[in-house]
């Protein structure tokens, strides 16, 4: 059987495609305070602002393409059983060719009912006030906002436990519960950490290889190391 590579990706892998991350700056996401556009309280205060914000992000997504980091990760499926757990809400992993992608924080190209979180629809255009589900409930972005539960967490933990290799690419490892997934790897599983500004990972039991590069350059090195170890 082929070995399983489980990869946790964050905003850093999409940044090279032109998608900005508020964690690179001063807490602003595309000029907005994240508390205004990425919390349930922000939605209650000003749903029009939130809808407009995600409409612009959805349109921006149409203008960008996967980068080399996404592409190399997809290429590794020729050698490994690869599963991507991503904190990103874009679809760049899928567009690059990755087949097994779990979105921890939701998906920009989907919306859901404000009353039934399991009523999820594909959505590629603007979402506006008055766009309802079949029961006349307003639709909202299918995004896990700060303060909300992460429905996919249990599945992500189960996948992480099956890893033969675990890689962390372009994430600050400061957003929980996603950052805690690394603790569910078996102690003998090698961990590869790709980030231009890597932080210290406290209490890590695993063998660790730090690659202090941007995602595309780090993925080149990771691919060589993994394939050499087959």
Identify whether 105 is a catalytic site residue. yes
Of the candidates 72, 94, 98, 95, the residue with the CA atom closest to the CA atom of residue 83: 98
CB-CB contact of 108 with 117 (8 Å)? no
Q: Which residue in the list 32, 70, 103, 105 is annotated as catalytic?
A: 105
Q: Is the peptide bond before 138 cis (omega within 30 degrees of 0)?
A: no
CB-CB contact of 113 with 127 (8 Å)? no
DSSP designation for 132? B
What is the CA 92 to chain-centroid distance, rounded?
A: 10
Task: Map tokens 């070995």 to a residue.
Answer: 3
| Strand arrangement of the beta sheet that strand 165-169 belongs to | 101-103, 81-86, 4-9, 165-169, 191-194, 208-211
Residues 6+ apart with CB under 8 A from 224: none
CB-CB contact of 15 with 6 (8 Å)? no
Catalytic residue list: 105
């Amino acid at each position: 059987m082929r070995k399983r590579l489980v990869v946790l990706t964050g905003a850093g892998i999409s940044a090279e495609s032109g998608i900005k991350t508020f964690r690179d700056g001063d807490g602003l996401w595309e000029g907005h305070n994240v508390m205004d556009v990425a919390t349930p309280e922000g939605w209650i205060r000003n749903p029009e602002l939130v809808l407009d914000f995600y409409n612009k992000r959805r349109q921006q997504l149409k203008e960008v393409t996967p980068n080399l980091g996404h592409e190399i990760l997809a290429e590794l499926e020729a050698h490994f059983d690869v599963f991507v757990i991503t904190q990103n809400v874009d679809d760049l992993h899928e567009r690059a060719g990755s087949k097994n992608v779990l979105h921890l924080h939701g998906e920009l190209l989907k919306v859901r009912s404000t009353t039934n979180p399991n009523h999820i629809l594909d959505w590629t255009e603007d979402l506006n006030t008055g766009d309802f589900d079949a029961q006349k409930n307003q639709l909202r972005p299918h995004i896990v906002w700060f303060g909300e539960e992460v429905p996919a967490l249990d599945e992500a933990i189960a996948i992480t436990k099956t890893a033969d290799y675990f890689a962390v690419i372009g994430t600050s490892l400061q957003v929980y519960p996603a950052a805690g997934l690394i603790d569910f790897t078996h102690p003998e599983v090698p961990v590869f950490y790709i980030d231009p500004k890597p932080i210290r990972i406290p209490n890590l039991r695993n063998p660790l290889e730090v690659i202090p590069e941007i995602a595309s350059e780090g993925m080149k090195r990771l691919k060589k190391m993994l394939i050499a170890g087959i």
